[in-house]
Every structure is written in structure tokens, then in C-alpha cells.
Structure 1
Amino acid sequence: IWVCACSTGQEAYSIAIVVNECLKNAGKNIEVKIFATDIDEKSIEIASKNQYPKSIKKEIPTKLFKKYFVEDGNHLSVLPEIRKQVVFAKHDVSKSPPFIKNDMVTCRNMLIYVNTVLQDKILSTFHFSLNPDGYLFLGSSETAHGIKQGLTEISSKWKIFKKSGVINYATFNTYNTQGRVVQADKKKTLSPEAPLTSVEKSFNKFITNDLGYVGVFIDKMYTIQEAVGNYRQFLELPDTKIELNILKMVPKPVSIVLNTALRKSWKELKTVHLTRIRSKKNGEDVYLNISIQPPNEDHPFTMIVFGESMTEIVAENEDHNLSMLAETHHGEYVFELEAELNETRTNLQMAVEEMETTNEELQSSNEELLSANEELQSSNEELQSLNEELHTLNTEHQLKIKELVE
């Protein structure tokens, strides 16, 4: 589930509680993961802390409050099992790539603050991010009229829609995130770019839609800044933590080769091509062609183009010769592994030395404790001896007193 414009988190936690109630009533045990996003970083920080004033208690049904909330000093918090189901992240839905493969997307009372063009773009992004038959939940004053051909209205009162058809994402500029605007040097005067001709638009559409090529733009931290094309056929979100790191959104074998190629491209400032890189798609082996173009004066980001290699007929006796890595990159791949291995060995050696030092300190502390224990035992024996002497002296005093009384 993707909760867009989650503000300080109340909506995300409420949805998590409702989903858990529904699953328990249905007797089902299904893993639930909720991505809650907002453009305001301070709101995300508040939501992540999971601490709300006690005044919200009156807004929560008593039954649900007793079941899902705990009091922590002057604050109220949802139970840890609910908190673990929700992941909060800063995200701009109008610019950043969406979260994909969702069964439900909610965005309540945010679209009313943007213009119609941006509304349609955001709605098409939600449609793109939903699984087939997934649900879209909007605010009471909002509508999905702009993409009505791709949705079926389930409830006009509660603004619940179901993904039931396809839409032309190119019409809404869905794929092009246009996430960053780079300011030109004030000293340079740039002439405006001429708009694309119909032929150029047709060619671009053919490349992305028909041939299935995907362009991804990243910075030097491997973070995706822009994307063009249906990138979810090659990229997936990590299972645990939400990140837009390109190396964590591709399979591990592809990630290793891609990392090596990126470093080479940045170092030599040349375009690098990877051919027939083996990957998995729907459980089957596929081969990818990847091209990397380093940053230049026209664009500050690194462009990575993914494309599926055309199927080729390969003789059975040649099948064993196909390597997961391209032959030309094998040496770099081995070098990368050796570097990581050396780093691991160094870290391990440092850890061993630290453990040895800690062990010596513990032994020294143990000897001091043993010495202190012996001193305490000696002191205890002296106290026992003194106690016996006092007991004897007390007996003698009692006898003297008795004699004096008589």
C-alpha cells in the first residue's frame, strides 16, 4: 500500500490498523507493507517518531485504542507490530519515480491544491503504480476524471476506484519525472530548444513503447533522479528499506557488473556498453544490453539505458560458453571482487585486534575483581571475628550487670 501525502502519519497508521482488523476478521495471515510518503521532511520526522499527544484519544474508537495503542509518558503510540508495517520516506510524487506493484494507493485531500494538468499527471502515476485490479482511494472533494478510461468507480461517496483498464501514459508525461532543474551558468546565454517535431516524437515513442528501452538518470551517489520509459520491467524496489539507489533496484549479478561499468565510465569519461548480461524476469533467464553515458555539459547526470537483448538461436553445445558476465568485463569484475575481499580481510583483522585488546582488558579487570573479592573475604572474616568478640564482651557485661543488681 502506498499512502501519498501522509503528512504526520495518522492516515498511514489508521490504514495499517484497518487492514490488520480486516485480515484478523478474515482469518488470514498476510504480510503487510505500507509506504507512507510526503514532500515535507519535518512531517516525515514526526510520523517516524510515532509519538502523538493524548488529546487524539477522543478521536479513536475505544475498542481500537485499547487494542492498538500504548501510553508512553505524555504521548500515545501505536503498537510496535503496527509501526513495523509502515515505512516513511520523503518523496515528491510530481517529480520522483513512483513506488510500484501496489495493491492500493491512497492520496486524500492533496490533489485539490494543484492545477488540473498536474492532477492528471499524478493520477496517471498512481495508475501506473497499481497492480491490475488495484484500488485508488481519493479525498471526498477529489475526482479521477482525467484517467476515467483506466478506472472503474467502486464508491462515489468514498471516492474509491479500481484499476480496470489501460491509459496512454505518454499523454500525461508519466514516465518523464523531470525531477531536477539545473541552472545554467549566468554568464552563458542559452537559446531555447526547439520543440520536438512529430517525427521525433514518433521515434521516441517507438523506442520506449515498442522496443521497450528505458532510460534512467543517476547522480554520483547512484540515486535515480529521472526516468524515461517503463522502468519497472528492469527495476524493483528493495524489500526492506525504501531507496532509489540503482544498484539496489537491479538483481545482484547485474548490480556488480553495472557498478564496475559505472566506475569505468566516470573514470574514463566514455560511454560503456554491456551486452547480454544475464538476469531473471518472471523466473526465466533474460539477457540485457546496458549502455552508460557519463555526465556532460548538456546534462549533469549519468544516463543508463536498459534494453532486453533480442532472442538468438544458440546451439546446445555452445550454451555452456555463455557467461553471466561479458568477457571484456571479466577482469574488472574479478578486480572488484578482489578489492572487496581485501577490504573485508582488513576489516576482519581490525576486528580481531580489537577483540584481542578487549580480551586483555577483560582479563585485567577480572584479576582486579578477584583481588577485590579476596580483600572482601578477608574483611568479612575480620568482621566475623570482631562480631564474636563483641558477642563475648556483651555476655560478660550481662553477667556483671546481673551481679551488681543482686
Structure 2
Amino acid sequence: MQPTDPHFEALLAYLKESRGFDFTGYKRSSLMRRVDRRMSQVDAVGYPEYLDHLQVHPDEFTALFNTILINVTAFFRDAEAWEYLRADVLEPMVAAKSPDSLLRVWSAGCASGEEAYTLAMLLAEMLGIDRFKERVKIYATDVDEERLDEARQATYGERDVQGLPPELVERYFEQSGGRYTFRKDLRRSVIFGRNDLVQDAPISRIDLLTCRNTLMYFNAETQAKILGRFHFALAETGVLFLGKAEMLLSHSALFTPIDLKRRVFRRVPRLYVAPGVVFTDPPSSDATTVAGLDELRNEALAASPLAQLALTSDGLVALSNRQMDKIFGVSSRDIGRPFRDLDLSYRPVELRRYIEQAQLERRTLRVTDVEYQRGSETTHLDVQISPLSGADGSLLGINLIFHDMTASRSLQEDLEHANQQLEAAYEELQSTNEELETTNEELQSTVEELETTNEELQSTNEELETMNEELQSTNDELQSINDQLRISTSRLDEADAFLETVLTSLEAGVAVVDPDLRIRMWNRHAEDLWGLRSSEVIGQHFLNLDIGLPIDRIRPLLRGALGQDGESGDVRLDAVNRRGRGVTVRVACTPLRRLDGLAAGGEGAIIVMETA
């Protein structure tokens, strides 16, 4: 086994942490060769130096990924294999299906789209244009966003189409200015999206999955993980079509060859247990205990104070508790029904798209601030959509939990009222502070007078005793005022802490800067959005932050907020969050305002960063 270079592994770890690309599963020999090629182009002599180069030049990531993710593709690449796929696989597959059933195809690692459009032309020739548009869905995925953008354009040069038969070019492409664009009406049946085969959830119920010359870039452990996902993605009789360099000789438990020479494999079925069937050990004295536990679990779900609904991976209602019946009228009578047939699937909120997103991304989603009208009563709900996975990583179904947030909404209104009271208290404390400053000046003047008087009192003991008594009385008053000052200062600290708690509770990233644009406050949501802790940015110049936000686009907003008139403004920007994913961020800049409501342009500004 080839020893690993710790500096190279550190570089891979940095790519995963900073941009969300996990290349640790790639073969080290080919991966190091490609990284070395890119390093030579920027004159980096070692992996540590190149890592420093990436940290200083964020644009270098794109060039590096383009070098690593070599996308080589063409229309009908390996024509003999495609002809075999058409005649011996797809035609029998289509003949075995009912005339109205859908045909779902997944092109994994589609690069610039030639393979996906090859599948479209192949199936359109078999089914006819009209039947193709009715029956076929082609899902084309890749991790390279730039190549996906090219694929979505569906426009190619003369060199790209020169290997196609002229009749196919004429039938499926529109020529304009030396460029060939795939037919728009058929293009709608091809859906492009980003999918990392190592990390992201697979698409399900696929009849044909093509992944040509992609697995070869991964090591054996990662290949096994991806093939397990492919096995889950394919339907019972689904077919896997690979490239010339991929043979699957060690994965016979998942796929069996249809034609090894042309790299066409069929999914090996797994044994499934029909719903309601339970396999048990031979009868024993513990049998009643197991039955009791099942009853207990069912009763615990039914008695839950939260409304819960479980769906199968095919979107059928599997479980429902009493709260679901009480709030939405969904009961055990609906078990087995498609969820899309229930009013709940689109009212009070469209849940079907969130369910599809949770299935695809394999993560829990939360839909907040949903208003549900029951008669004259309005209930505020938060809906949690969670994917349920089996021990082998397969998707078992979806769990929906409805949280009643009506009481929380009332508390939020109380919080707003408390915030108003806090502002009034802050104003009062400010006034008290000004009075204390005046008193302090008066006390300073008194001390100076006492010093002069003390010199005069030295001439006579009687005058000294009299002045000492006056001085003691004045000191007592000073102590009393100092005690009041400490109490006021403590209240002011409590008010600042409460204000910081309120900022942390906001559902958006918030930064407060001083007139020099140095950060004075950085809340928790700003940390979650950009991956920088408050302790790392307090005191730093805002325009020098190294985050996935185009800072220069915010400079005019800050200039307006810090100007004499204190102008507010906002802008929508494309950014990259701390996970390396593209997001749209609305950035609003507002000047700090005095208690009279006027903008204090010289005091600083508030920057609110909210994902759209």
C-alpha cells in the first residue's frame, strides 16, 4: 500500500473543511498527479506552500477543482455499447412496463451533459417524441457547478456534434451561428442538479443508471460506498451502465453482469419483508414481553403531545397519532393512502417540496411560522421534516412532527414589549449617568476647595476640627453617591447582556461596527453562516474578513450608513456559506441611532446578513 504524504492529506482536509469537497476517497496516485500539475502552474514548490496560496487567493479553488474533476464526455461515446444498451436492455425494459408507467433514468457524473442528451435521443427514437415527453424523466448530476451550467445551456460546437449521424443532428438540434442547441421541448425532460456521490443521498426508483468512467477515480472503499447507494437508487430490475475501466468483479452481491464486455449490470434484488410481517425466534418465555413492548411503543406514539405522521419512502401514510387526528383529522383510517391525496400535503403549507428536499439531501428541515386556522382559533406551527434511515443507510421514510408554537409566539410578543421597556430603562440610565458625571465634577471642585481650606485650618486647631467635621460629612455623601454609581453601572451591564441575548436570538447574522469599521459585536447566526467565531472577529476590520461574501459590494452601503445623513440600504449578493454551498444573502446596513431616533453617523453601523 502506497504511504500517504501528511502534507497532502492536510491539503485534502483543508479542501473538505473550507469548501465542502471531499476528495479523500480518490485514488492518491491520480489525485496527486493532478494537484501537482496545478501547483506547477502557480509555481508552488510543496503542498504546504500551495495550501498557503489557496488561503490567500480564494479564486484558486475553482482552477484546482477544474483540474481535479476532469470531465471527458461525448455523444454516444463507445457507440457499440450504446447500441447494445438500446437493443438488448432498453427495448425489453420498455416492453415489460405498462404503457403509462414512467421511465426514470439517472446520469451520474454527467459533466457538460452529452451523456444525458444521448439518453434523451436514444429513448426518443425508441418511444417517439410525444411518448418520450410523457413518460421519461432523466436526472443528470455532477459535483462541478461550472460544467452543470454548461449542460443546462444545452449548446455545443460543430466539433462536439460531428460524430453524430446527420439525421439525429437535424432532428434534435437547432443550429444558430455555428452552435447547436438541443431541442427545448425535449430539454424539459432532462433535470440537472448537483450531487456528490460520496456524501449526498441518491435519487430513488431509477430504471437505468449510467455512471461511465467515474468510479475509476475513487479508491476501493469509496467505490463500495457509492455502489451501495446505486443499489438503493435502482428499482428491483434496474440496470447499471458503467464505463470501460469499471468491472465490479468484487461486488457480485449488489450487481450481476448482463454483458461484462460492455459493462452492463443488473441490480441483485434484496429480500424485503412485507409490511406487517415480523420474523421472530422460536417461542420462549420472553414472547409476551416483546409483544408488550410493541404495544407500548405504539401507545407512546399515539399519546405523544406532538402531532406526528410517518410516511414510507414511496410517500404512503404509515403511522399517525391522536394529535394528528385532533388537529388535522388524519387518523388510522388514512394509513396506506398517498400523502399527496391528503389536504395536509398542501394546507396550511405546501409540504411536498420540503419532503422531496429532505429525501434528496438526507437532512432534517424545519418550516417555521405556519398559521393554521381552526374555526375562529389561529394556531402557529413549526413543522419538522426528518428522513428516517435504516442500518444500511437506505431511506425508510419521512417523519413529520408539528410543534404548536402559539405559546412561544405569545412569549415573543412579550419579549418585544420587554424590549421597549428596556429601551426606556436605557434612556433613564443614560440620563442618570449624565447627572452622575455632573456630580462628579462638583465633587472634584469640592475636593480642591477642601485642600485649600485644610492649609488654612492648620493655623488654628479649632478651625481644623470644624473643617474636619465638614469634610467627614462630605465624604459620607461621596460614598453614598459612589454606591449609587455602582448600582447604575451594574444595571447598565445587565442591559448590555440582555441586548446581546436579543441579538443572538435573531434569525439572521448581525454585526455591529464602530466608525472605523472595526467589529464590536458578532452574533451566533453570523458565526453559523460564515464559520468565524465572535472571539476571532471582534476588533477586526470588517472589510478585511475572509468570508464567502463579496465584501467590496457592501462598501457603498457602509459609506452611506456612516455618512452625515446616516442612510440605510440593502443589497442581495451571491455568497458561499461556511459549508462551501452557494447561497443568496440579503445584506442590510443601518446607522446606529441616538435615543431621539436620529441617525448617529459617527457612532457606527449595524449590518444584517440574512439568507434568502
Which structure has more relative contact order (CA 8 Å, sep 6+)? It is 1
**What TM bracket, shorter-length normalisation?**
0.3 to 0.5
| TM value normalised by structure 1 | 0.44
| TM value normalised by structure 2 | 0.30
